[in-house]
Structure 1
Amino acid sequence: MKTVVIFYALGEQEMRKLYSFALDEEKCIFFVKVDGFFKEEDAKIYLSEFQTVVNSINPSIFTLIIDGRGQEEVPSDVVDDIIFVLKLYWMANFKTLIIISPTSPASRIQVENCAHKINFPGVFVDSVEEAYNLLNK
């Protein structure tokens, strides 16, 4: 597996990793890990970098795994942004979409409610192991 991008943003006290991408071309898995709270500028950079990776592969043969366990609850006015990102994942036409649900109960509910609103075709799981187990069936 090769790491494509790791992005850091200035936090209040230290640098914090907002996301990382890993592309396993042999197993056809694009693994994305997201952490913390994205500010608007962070989100723009994330979306640009995500699209760059998607444009370099054939998504229809790849599984996209989004590890969202570290996502923090977002203000209600950002819900449309969550829906936008879920649609982006969906419209990229990945073979399989797997979301590892946020650990925070409030964040989990937010993301799952957004997915339900748009009939998101992905599968929600609770752990990385569960995500990979789905691929081995």
Structure 2
Amino acid sequence: MYKVEVNNAKKVLFITVGGFFQEEDGKNFLNDYNNAVKSITPSSFTLALESSELSTSKAEMIPILENCIKMYKATGFKNIVSTPPSSAIAAMQLKRVLSSLNVDIEFISDLSKL
């Protein structure tokens, strides 16, 4: 499950992710993400990831998670913030991926304050 929403007034691209991603979900997400990014100037926007409902990823899905993080970084957002996954294992997976990619994401508890 995912949702991509542009808030031009706040200059925030909100992405909600949760549950398990299958390959088809990934393809649809990339299409929606790219369309949203084309409609904004990323360097003046914050990317806000609502990932509290993100589930633990299977080992074969970790490279896809890594590629998403790389894509977020390469897009050139002003900054990237995220809610931490509520699952301790999913949170550890995400932090491990971020560390291995040397990507800094600020974790905050409430995205509505952006």
When the two structures are superposed, what TM-score results if normalisation uses the length of structure 1?
0.78
Say if 1:90 and 1:121, in contact at 8 Å, map to a contact too: no
Answer with 1 or 2: which has the greater Rg. Answer: 1
Q: How many residues align?
A: 114
The aligned counterpart of 2:67 is 84
CA distance in structure 2 between the partners assigned to 1:75 and 1:88 by the alignment = 20
Flag the structure with higher helix content: 2
**1:24 positional shift:** 1.3
Flag the structure with higher strand content: 1
Say if 1:35 and 1:72, in contact at 8 Å, map to a contact too: yes
**1:124 positional shift:** 2.1
**1:71 positional shift:** 0.6
CA distance in structure 2 between the partners assigned to 1:21 and 1:82 by the alignment = 16
Select which of 98, 101, 106 maps to 1:118: 101
Q: What fraction of aligned residue pairs are identical, expressed as a percent?
A: 27
CA distance in structure 1 between the partners assigned to 2:85 and 2:30 by the alignment = 19
The aligned counterpart of 1:100 is 83
The aligned counterpart of 2:2 is 19
CA distance in structure 1 between the partners assigned to 2:103 and 2:66 by the alignment = 9
CA distance in structure 2 between the partners assigned to 1:27 and 1:77 by the alignment = 36
CA RMSD of aligned residues (A): 1.3
CA distance in structure 1 between the partners assigned to 2:34 and 2:104 by the alignment = 20
Matched residue of 1:91: which SS? helix
**1:100 positional shift:** 1.2
Specify the code of the residue in structure 2 equivalent to 1:73.
T
When the two structures are superposed, what TM-score results if normalisation uses the length of structure 2?
0.93
Answer yes or no: is 1:45 the counterpart of 2:28. Answer: yes
Specify the code of the residue in structure 2 equivalent to 1:100.
T
